Chain A
Amino acid sequence: MAIFETTGGEVMRGKSAGVILLLAGWVVGSGRVAGADPSDPASLLPLGALAALQMNNLGAVVGRLEKSGLVEALYSTPQGIELTKRPDFKKAMAGKAILEQQAGMSAVEILTTILGGQVAVGMYPQAGASQPEFLAVMRVRDPARWKQLRERIEPFLLLADQVMNVSRPANGVTQITVKNVGALAWGDAWLMAGTKADRLPGVWGNLQGVDSGKEKEKKPPFKSLAEDVDYQAIRQQLGGQPVIGFFLSNKVLKSPDGKRLISDKLDNPVASLLLGGLIEMVGRSPYLGGALTVGENDFALRLAAPGEVGKLDAGRKALFPAAGKPGTPRFPAVPGLIGGIAWDRDIATWYTNREALLESRALPGFDQFETGIANILPGKDFATDVLGTLGRGMTVLAAPQDYSYLDGTPGVKLPAFALIIDLAKPKEGASLMNLFLQTLAAILNIEAGQQGRQPWVMTSETHNGVQISFGDYLQKPKGKDLPVVTNFTPAAALVGNRYLLCTSRGLCKQLIDTLAKPSTVEESAATPVQADDWAVTGSRLADALALNRNLLEAGGLRNGRTGKQAREEFQAMEDALRQVEKLRLRSVLQPWGVELRLEGSWK
């Protein structure tokens, strides 16, 4: 697990995780603000968008942003300091100050009280240009105050007509055009900005209920994005009123000549096995959507790729749960479970179909791999004899390690890991796995011998009626900074049709106990059908990291920090992690397609 590496980079990654949590933190609050306009902001955008983004309760988000320490913190980073020194930034700030002074209220107040706090941004194809154009529209909620505000500000704008052209193209409409940049327009009940000035009149003409003057002949009735069938579908599929929602038309996913931009073959076998199904669904889907929703102490970011999993080719269909099957195995609730990964895959079918899924240059690697495996499992064919014994489910999990088999501790303290393989043919599978384990232990023992370490002695015992094969040291290795490899003493067992391969005998025993009591397994009815499930509990991960506190602080020193800075950085990361109740990423099978869901909850 990369997070246990002791490089400085990991510390930084930990930090950015903290920032994301903070971000999530005030998005939460913003979701709570009362009185959000229930109407769909997309109704403000014309039909034909390649992509659209909507944000609700924007004012609250900005308000919380301004009040939180985060903006301050961002400004004090090196990049932030650079930014504040830039002339255009200074100008923008000055402009904001003038605006706020004239309006007699803060920009945030304007956003939340006068404007609806909803914004819709659309991306449209631009004829004859490779760049798309953008259009953003806001609806005014308090026209009376909006009118007052405009009356106070507009005179000043007219003074500054050197860089921009201010016009009143229709009654009650003000349009400001900045050459080569775009235009801003507002009317009695709306405010809009676009990168192409020409488009604005067509849109505000409809919103304002007047002729734009340019399309006198016969104005087509205004059709908004809300009438787009794909858009409607995705709204329905994702449901609710998200804090942020986005929509991507399939046109974006295709090149001008109509070809898919996402290649149908990957060149990385691991990526194909992990993500091949999702990538293909995205490549095929007519449109994509996303939604961020926020609750009292949780959030969910959902990305939807509609389509029919059943129509995929065999190799990729194998990467999703079979119809009517429950999907990924649930995580066994072993004491102190830090986190884990669970899959539901028909690996054998994926493997035999690899030529259809992978670029030809990735294929020779499989042959080399098979040759290598044949050295460890002589006389066996990987696809038939090994993969053929596997079932669909596979789980990797991490839990606290006890070092009872050592007289001391390793220098780098890793948690205990377990791999749980669901077997289709438990007997053959388990004997093969045991053979593999024995051979692997023999090979590693040779290396141990060469480096003057103790070998593992393979032995076995029975725990609650289940036989555990495990490696142990004849004499407990002694010392406080034992090599990393002393984190591992392999232990394996077969429980029903599930083969357990653990890095510690203690975890193996706990798993046997847990799996024997199905009631301690998370209730499956409440869980949707999943192909992947990645979960971590923040406070427990923090505990695991804290065991290696010195190493991580040393990472800070190597990164040019002082001892004090390194301590503070570690503390910040640990505190942030401890706030996280749970973080979970999973792919969920829906009646209409697949969904990638990132969920988090905090205390």
Chain B
Amino acid sequence: MLDNPLAPHAFGVGGWSWRDAAHLLRRAQYGVSPDEIERATQAGPVATIDRLIRPQAESAEFTSAEALLRQTALDTGSTANLQAWWLYRLGHSANPLTEKMTFFWHNLFATSNEKVKDVALMLAQNDLFRAQALGNYAGLLHAMARDPAMLIWLDGNANRRRHPNENFAREVMELFSLGVGNYTEKDIQEAARGFTGWHMREGVFWFNASQHDTGDKTVLGVKGNLDGDSVIDICLKQAACPRFIAMRLLKTFVMPEPGEAALAAVSASIRRNGFVMGPVLRELLTSRLFFSGEARGSLIKSPLDLVLGTQRALVPAPRLEPTISRLSALGQDLFLPPTVKGWEGGRLWISSTTYLLRANFAAELTKGDLYGQLIDLEAEARRHQLQTPGEATRYYCDLLLASEPAQAVRVRLEAFASSAGSQAVRDRGLIHLILALPEQQLM
């Protein structure tokens, strides 16, 4: 194909720039610190994507803190503590893309502890997502059909030979693999029979043979004594399946409304790579599509992107409890997706109420230490030589905004910075203002 959107991006005359590195990291992790951008700029695109995709060793501090938080979640059985554990991982892991993809799967196979009511099972499901974060989607889909949390969530034990429950079979097609319009109601009814007797017992998957329907079923044109695994294999063979996953990847990592060419290319890549995500993501995140002007700054930040991203840039040791409650107010309670559809995101994140909360988050973050101490602004100014209001405005816009702000915005920011008092007061006010901007909601 002549203009394959997934062809590697040719970095122009200036080569791989600070701005390119920032774009890649903002999308591949939850926010980015100035040091990380600097390191990635030095390392170049190949090493950077390599570091993101290849497993990196975690620090001793991370390992022990993570274990303590994990044990606390198990000990208390509290969803808030489970959220704290994952937020710690999201903010501190040496494998940020793995964590982001873990969330991708959590959002796809959206399971809520509201119904599961078992922190250990939710944690086990999350570990499964993590283990396969950059691994095989097909394997993950098969695993989900046997995952205890999922079995509780979609009423697995109610799916019996003479009373099939369609809940799981419907979501496998509608939300987990194909999307609406790629199957019929009849397909769901037949598929549900395939999953009869796929039960949970004593906290683990159990094939209840006496409740399994061994009769012939026809799913998506395939006839036979189909069981759950064969139903899933049939779904995976559908052309709609890789397209469905491709659409989710594009909307998560690239742009809100990808065109047909992009969809077809990513879908082909998924098929070619046998549903293994690592190589697909490597291709996608280094593609000309990913670095195109159309893609940059086009995604509305989820609360996780906004809150964790801001903290990664400005708060070295964030407090998790206020972070959890702010995420909750903004509509993103980890492990508690609103429905089996997960968080739909995009423009739905933004309403009057949530915009105010986002702006007020900026004020609270910069005013006190509710979310933790802000970086030392005086040291930052010395390090980056931020003397004039113009220099400070430019530096913090580059760090915090995905795209250069319009001239009219920059002029106003500079005017504000010029009228502020000392350097530290000025920069604090400037950061607050940039964080409250509509531009800040994009990445």
Contacts and interface: CB of A to CB of B under 8 A. Distances in A.
Interface in A1-28: 6-9
B321 A558 contact: yes
Contacts of B65: 557, 562-563
A481 B69 contact: no
B317 A563 contact: no
A484 B77 contact: yes
A423 interface: no
Nearest to A564: B61
B72 A554 contact: yes
B311 to A, nearest CB: 10
Nearest to B324: A558
A561 interface: yes
A557 B91 CA distance: 12
Contacts of A459: none
A481 B321 contact: no
Given A451-B117, A563-B68, A412 B75 contact: yes
A551 B369 contact: no
A346 interface: no
B72 A6 contact: yes
A272 B343 CA distance: 46
B64 interface: yes
B195 to A, nearest CB: 22
Contacts of B319: 8, 558-560
Given A557-B88, A563-B68, A483 B317 contact: no
B46 to A, nearest CB: 33
Chain B contact residues, majority secondary structure: helix
Interface residues of A, number: 23
A411 interface: yes
Interface in B83-136: 84, 88, 117
A553 interface: yes
A155 interface: no
Contacts of A559: 319-321
A410 B74 CA distance: 10
Contact of B76 (A9, A411, A553): A411
Interface string B53-88: 000000001001100110110111100010010001
Contacts of A483: 77
Contact of B75 (A551, A558, A560): A551
Interface in A32-83: 78
Interface string B300-335: 000000000000000001111100000000000000
- With most chain B CB atoms within 10 A of its CB, the pick from A410, A451, A559 is A559
B71 A558 contact: no
Interface in A542-566: 550-551, 553-554, 557-563
B77 A553 contact: no
Given A557-B65, A558-B84, A550 B75 contact: yes
Contacts of B81: 6, 554, 558
B373 interface: yes
A209 to B, nearest CB: 53
B58 to A, nearest CB: 13
A451 B373 CA distance: 41
B321 A550 contact: no
B71 A8 contact: no
Nearest to A554: B72
Contacts of B88: 557-558
Contacts of A410: 75
Given A6-B81, A78-B373, A484-B77, A550 B72 contact: yes
Contact of B369 (A7, A8, A78, A561): A78
Interface string B17-39: 00000000000000000000000
B372 interface: yes
Nearest to B311: A560
A6 B77 CA distance: 12
A9 B84 CA distance: 15
Given A8-B319, A557-B88, A411 B64 contact: no
Given A6-B76, A6-B81, A560-B372, A554 B68 contact: yes
B212 to A, nearest CB: 23
Interface in B362-403: 369, 372-373
Interface in A410-457: 410-412, 451
Given A451-B117, A483-B77, A550-B72, A562 B320 contact: no
B76 A412 contact: yes
A411 B69 CA distance: 13
A79 to B, nearest CB: 10
Contacts of B68: 550, 553-554, 557, 563
Interface string A551-595: 101100111111100000000000000000000000000000000
A357 to B, nearest CB: 36
B73 to A, nearest CB: 9
Contacts of A554: 68-69, 71-72, 81, 84
Nearest to A450: B117
B75 A411 contact: yes
B229 to A, nearest CB: 27
A560 B320 contact: yes
A351 B77 CA distance: 38
Contacts of A451: 117
Given A6-B76, A411-B76, A560-B318, A550 B64 contact: no
Given A8-B321, A412-B75, 4 more contacts: A411-B76, A553-B68, A558-B321, A560-B317
16 contacts: A7-B321, A8-B319, A8-B321, A412-B76, A481-B71, A484-B77, A550-B68, A551-B72, A554-B84, A557-B65, A557-B68, A558-B321, A559-B321, A560-B372, A563-B64, A563-B65
Ranked 6 nearest A-B pairs via Cβ: A411-B75, A554-B72, A560-B317, A558-B320, A560-B319, A560-B372
